[in-house]
Structure 1
Amino acid sequence: MTHPSAPRPLRVLHVFPELRASGAEVMLRSAGAAWREHGIIPDILAIGPSTGPYAAELRAAGYRILHESDRNRGRLLYGLRKLVRSERYDVVHLHTEWANFWLGAAARAAGAGVVRTVHNVFEFERLLRLERAVQRRITARARSWTHVAVSASVAANEERRFGPRPRVIDNWCDGCFEPPTPGRRAAARSALGLADHHIALVSVGNCAPQKRHEAVLQAMGDPSAPDDLVYVHVGQEKPDQGERQLARELGLGERVRFLGCVHPLDALHAADVFVMPSTHEGSSVAAIEALSTGLPLVLANAPGLRDLATPSEPSVILTEVDPAALLDALARASRGRAPLPGQRFSMARSVAQYAELCHQVAATRRPRVAGGRASVGPAASRAARHDAHEGRASAR
């Protein structure tokens, strides 16, 4: 897709918390070379104590990585406004829930349009729910400011809790995620010490309370669990390594592999079943990657995950996460490989949709005033500081 009316390539600034190997960052890495085909030059701004451990991966994919500290929110808003104005960004694409309203206001004050992607099901209540509802309604009426949800569950939650329903653009995964050849599968299993009789379960994702990886370990430790189950975890562990400790307490030490932050492809090729017992997700890129390699999926019957279970995806099994239900689902899923998901999670299609949206938003923004001194003002700075109570757990 080309946009011949654009006088120059569109400059888009993606704004994240610290950059980590989470779904949105992984998607951007895989799409690094695709944006220029749509007339877009993208940069990334990390707001946090540092750029984060995934910055090098994104830099290698062709993105310029910028950094602003979030220690003082007033200075952050001023710094963002100054950056957007000096670099002449046309669109600021926000990927953070934290302070998103005030970050967007700062971007618009500097003359940029705003795209805000909601990456998760935010179940805010009471004062924070009211605050977000007011903010969402204001931005829904604003020129050159639009919201996107990554799944139907996210869009439905936004409408139910906050009012406006955003459009949906599906997440995607890298084209390298495809079914293994017999030789590659054998090599991947051998590297993990898996015998032919082992049934390998794999989870991909950083250890966090919502991921509930301990549910898999507890199911494997149940007396009724078969002895040939092996669990492979890819992702960053908690500092206290609580899941390793639980595995030892359950006597599973030799049947669990904690691989850390490695590329998940080999683990997916070695596995028999992908399992994700999360309390909620937005639209799990890890699950999409697993589905693309032909793995059957066992997912918690939870928002964001149940979107993957459609009549066209018979290999996706939804389950409760008590040991009996989880073991039954794992037994059913381990009976064979899965059909591929086709074009549902096409990177080319979703990147084209985001690019078209960015061009539309840029076309409706207010013209910049040369030498202007637009400001987000002290009220915005105070309100952004008030956002701190939602915590970093709600960063996305």
Structure 2
Amino acid sequence: MTTLSTDHGLTRVGPPLTDNSAPFQSARRIYAHKWTNDYKFAPGLIPIIFRRVSDYDVVHIHALFTFTTTVAAWAARARGVPYIVRPLGTLSCYGMHARRRLLKRLSVALIEKAILRNAAVVHFTSDVERREAEELGLTFRGVVVPLGVEAPAVVLQHPTHLQRSNRRLILFLSRLDPKKNIEALIDAFAFSPMLRAGSALLIAGSGSSTYVDELKARCKDRGIADLVVWLGHVEGDAKAAALHAADVFVLPSFSENFGIAAVEALFAGLPCVLAEGVAIAEDVARAGAGIVVPPKAAEVARALESLLDDEAERRSMANRARIFAEDTFSSRVMGQRLIEIYQNVRAPRRTNAD
């Protein structure tokens, strides 16, 4: 397996598809310099993609509306290699309307429509994500495979900065972005006498300094600055500590094509308050592991109050959350499902006789 990407971030990969027993070291990562942020323009990947795409059985493309993913789809089709597309939430209602609405519609008509139609499979991570893509009237062969998530490590003792006397801890864990609707969470906390009296709010995640400053100013204006703990970006033990210290997890996003942070919270046994725009929200509610609300401050506040006011129900919901996460989102199960898809769509191996 080879991962081609821009230098925008890193990707974890596993052993090659054609030899499941091969060591991890056989996986390769190739990065090219990204010239622009908006379209991920990285011309250095063009010769690499066209030269090497025929060496592989399957190409798995992540995201749409970017230069590199478009080139990958065209190269795979030109060389007769089947490809899979994971839209990464770009076809959601929010994704299509929030930014550059007209430009995206034009791009779909000229580029993405054909990419999706010619894909061997379009990989969605939730039923909601697939349904919203279908509403665009596009033709594709879709399959839903949730993301595999690892359970957070067990933390035996909470760090002192996460200890807030007898206050219940409400955790928000995600990227700090207007899409996440953190303003509604701050207002929900500020306008609820019950939450202010007996709770503290943990906000974990990073974002632009300007936006974070706006959120902190909002907390100050609402009179809750001393009840909010800003953890910044957390990972590893720090993330596990936050998850295990919290009593409730909340994600009031306008849109999430999956919701990895919510799944991590489920693994940690946290009852979840999720906005309707979180793709897995309906599944979480059906499993009795959380409450689904409109993305409004008053509704978020009521849900948090109901959970924090009923310890017995909170404990029962925590147990259901763990069971649901282990049965539905384990990396082992999801990895096997992806392998089966790869085996079903991969191109026949070329031989010298061919």
Q: Counterpart in 1 of 2:46?
A: 80
TM norm structure 1: 0.71
Matches within 5 A, 1:200-349: 200-222=169-191, 224=193, 225-240=195-210, 241=212, 242-263=214-235, 264-311=239-286, 313-334=287-308, 335=311, 336-337=314-315, 338=318, 339=320, 340=322, 341=324, 342-349=326-333
The answer to whether the 8 Å contact 2:86/2:122 transfers is yes
Q: Deviations over 1:71-102 (max 9, x none)?
A: 38898457334345248344332212223344
Q: Which has the higher helix share?
A: 2
The answer to whether the 8 Å contact 1:14/1:94 transfers is no
Question: Which deviates more, 294-303 or 122-131?
Answer: 122-131
The answer to whether the 8 Å contact 2:130/2:144 transfers is yes
The answer to whether the 8 Å contact 1:15/1:95 transfers is no
Question: Which deviates more, 279-288 or 215-224?
Answer: 215-224
TM-align CA RMSD: 3.4
170, 180, 190: which one aligns with 2:146: 170
Q: Quick one: which amino acid aligns to residue 209 of structure 1?
A: P
Q: Deviations over 1:123-171 (max 9, x none)?
A: 32556336425645534553x6321001000100111114235110011
Q: Deviations over 1:162-214 (max 9, x none)?
A: 4235110011211345xx57xx2xx226441322x211111111111111112
Q: Counterpart in 2 of 1:391?
A: none
User: Which sections of structure 1, spanning at least 5 residues, go unmatched?
Assistant: 1-10, 43-59, 370-396
State the distance in 2 between where 1:323 and 1:310 align.
19
Q: Which has the higher contact order (CA 8 A, sep 6+)?
A: 1
Q: How many residues align?
A: 322
Q: Counterpart in 2 of 1:68?
A: 32
CA, structure 1 residues 74+349, in 2 after alignment: closer, same or farther (shift >3 Å)?
Answer: closer
Q: Deviations over 1:232-289 (max 9, x none)?
A: 1221132222222222222222211111222221101000000000001011111011
State the distance in 1 between where 2:304 and 2:240 align.
21
Q: Quick one: which amino acid aligns to residue 106 of structure 1?
A: A
Matches within 5 A, 1:366-377: none
SS in 2 for 1:207: coil
TM norm structure 2: 0.78
